[in-house]
Structure 1
Amino acid sequence: MFSAMIDPTATTATPTGPVALAARRKALPGSTVGLLANTKRNAEQLLDDVGALLEQLHGVARVVRRKKPNINEPMPPDMLAELVATCDAVVVGVGDCGSCSASAITDGIALEAAGVPAAVVCTEAFTVSADAMAAVQGSPGYHYVRTPHPVAPLSPAELRQRATAALPDIVATLSGGAPGGTP
């Protein structure tokens, strides 16, 4: 299924220093929020549920849905450029394995470096990979939204419950409020 795995502890790049996080939005009403899904089973559905909740409960005006072509690599540069140009904030996910968690964190930090706040969703089983990749990418301690593992085998009703449970942290991360959104 996978042609390669990202090793979050290996890199050929030398970080030039800490990556500055994007300025947070004070509020989400009227904003455009991107949903960047990987090819992990149920990633799109979980993010679709998050998008629907953001529209219903937080006044998000528009949701832009994109799917990465490869689960274990960062998003292509043209996709990054499009999200930066069209979105006020982006929700990335789902990190539900080692390499997809590492690439999700990489995507979130790339968006942040380009000036777009990101909320990356990873399962609790892969915090070591996520934390290691954040450090390698120049953002040790980077906050991401944690959800119970696994996501892949969940039913639609269970996915909706996960999205509802993660929503407060996603909103706080994008808007700079507690628990983890303060840059």
Structure 2
Amino acid sequence: MPTGVHLRDVREQLFGAAERLLMTGGPSALTSRAVTTEAGVAKGVLHRHFDDFDAFLADFVVDRATRMDAQARALTGKAGTGDVAENLAEAITAVFGSVAVAVVALVTFRDDLRRRLRETWPAGVPVLTEAVVMIEGYLAAEQRLGRIQNVDVEFVAPMLIGAGHLLFADRDTPPPAGAVRRMTGTVLGQKH
């Protein structure tokens, strides 16, 4: 890449490249050279913006986790409408149809990344903990509206994310929509 060329939002350019590589090749595909090549920038660009590759990966993971805020607002906005289990199934499918499963694998794959994330992230794996917060918020809103009862939101939300992760992990194709809906209904104690 020629020097002196202004890169618009180089962070997002590098993060987008990392996401594409992670989705297509898994955690082992992520190297600084692969990311900069995929982004179409010189290798030094990554190191001008981040202390090292694990710092880049930690920022990437946190960035992808915080993008769930929009999904959380959309899901909470559905409170009081539609079928609760179906709304949850759609949200869980959106979470795990995204980069979330790949991020979990990445965090598991790289010890230094996990250590670095522990320094800045409150607990758990960033994308999954944000998904739990999203589901908790939605379930609490549905409880306030009286559409679900006898549900301990604090425990049901992580159960839904854990079960969703198991449905989506290590698959070449997503599970059938009916399976996700059946899982959400079962966790909520609904007959299906």
**TM-score where L is the length of structure 2:** 0.33
| Larger relative helix fraction | 2
Work out which of the two has the higher radius of gyration on C-alpha atoms and give 1 or 2. 2
**TM-score where L is the length of structure 1:** 0.35
- Structure with the bigger RCO (C-alpha within 8 Å, sep 6+) is 1
